[in-house]
Amino acid sequence: MKVALLSDCYLPRLGGIEVQVHDLAGWLRRAGHEVEVFTATPGRAGERHGAVELVDGVPVHHLALRLPGDLPVNPWAPPELRRRLLAGRFDVAHVHMGVVSPFARDAVDVALAAEVPTAVTWHCVLDAMERVLAVSGRVRRWAGRGVALSAVSRMAARPLQRLAPDARVTVLPNGIDVDRWRSSTAATVLGPQGHCGTDGAGGTGGAGGAGGADVAGGEPVRFVTAMRLARRKRAVPLARVARRVDDLVGDENNWGIEVFGEGPQRGLVQAYLRTHGLTDRVLLRGRVSRDELLESYQGATAYVSPTVLEAFGIAALEARAAGLPVVGRRGSGVEEFVEDGVTGLLAGGDRELAAHLATLVLDPGARHRLRQASRATPPTQSWPTVVGMVEAEYARAGRLARRRRT
């Protein structure tokens, strides 16, 4: 099958959709499909205006303009995109949507006009955009024209189902290389030893620092999270949760949270931590590689996901695959791969989130049970499984297109 993947954003930009579409392209090629990517993002060497770059064996068409900040916007792309889709004789067009995706939105209309079977996957929580889309009627019209609609989680699918009540919205989860992330569990010791090599510290000990030892249990109590330090990811509320945990567990218990990632709210988070004396509890590690992140998970107690408007949570899924229980929010995308009380703990609000973390600091038995269950039950969202679901969605797009034509 010849597949066109279309997305506003792609590498070298870094983000959930960019990485996910790149990885999907690679795994589709492994499955024997021919794949090309179309994007409004400039290439690694600044490729624009339709230049084609080969990225990991996949041709990438950079239909990008020269704009401030390399914004992935090109309102003049549709004619050239239509020409290339027709010339390429693609069997299916798979469009990937974010919250605001002008290129992807145009790509759906172009693919339909070119009579290419079309699948559209939303990677976002619509939130306020649901009302805008309801007024425009765009999603309903797409469904009526034979587009196969999907979202990465049940939470993300619900508003789409409201927008297109007569259509079927499939849940098409993000995928990860489960075997790669699980390779760290073999080196992870269930006892008191721990390891954190991402900052060059060489260990988890140290009085008052993240990764200290709980007096009662004698094992490291080190929470980790990987997130963009931005308002939508709730970086500052996470610092507030840490303050409440500190109040709940007392000074006699050493514990900490290591935060991996960068973002515009780093300064606000640092200021809050300094003001409330939490700089030894919450450590901002900055951006690290996937390998460094995997290494940091060895010996960690749990992964923390404070985000509410999280359509899926790839970083949390990777932590689950590495054998970590996930402490997150109910109603977010982490519910797709976290069973409350078994492979993690889900909270209805930040106070309950802090209470769950405090429980894990104070109760070695709870930590042990959750980690054992998480390591024993790997998540099902492995790439081979997800590719099979994607192929089924492409077949559905073909059936809908044929039905529409006849």
Note the pLDDT tens digit of each residue in 14-30: 888 999 999 999 999 99
d(CA 347, CA 360): 14
- pTM, whole model, 2 decimals? 0.86
Contact yes or no for 158/170 (Cβ under 8 A) = no
User: Using one digit for the tens of pLDDT, what is the confidence trace for 26-71?
Assistant: 999 999 999 999 999 999 999 999 999 999 999 999 999 999 989 9
Task: Specify which residues 38 forms β-bridges with.
Answer: 6, 61
Superfamily of domain 2-175+383-405: Glycogen Phosphorylase B; (3.40.50.2000)
* Domain range list for the chain: 2-175+383-405, 178-376
d(CA 55, CA 52): 9
Superfamily of domain 178-376: Glycogen Phosphorylase B; (3.40.50.2000)
Shared fold status for 2-175+383-405 and 178-376: yes
81: helix, strand or coil: helix
d(CA 243, CA 190): 28
Q: What is the pLDDT of residue 185?
A: 53
Contact yes or no for 316/326 (Cβ under 8 A) = yes
Q: What is the pLDDT of residue 291?
A: 86
Burial of 292 (0-12, 13-18, 19+ CB in 10 A): middle
Q: What is the pLDDT of residue 220?
A: 66
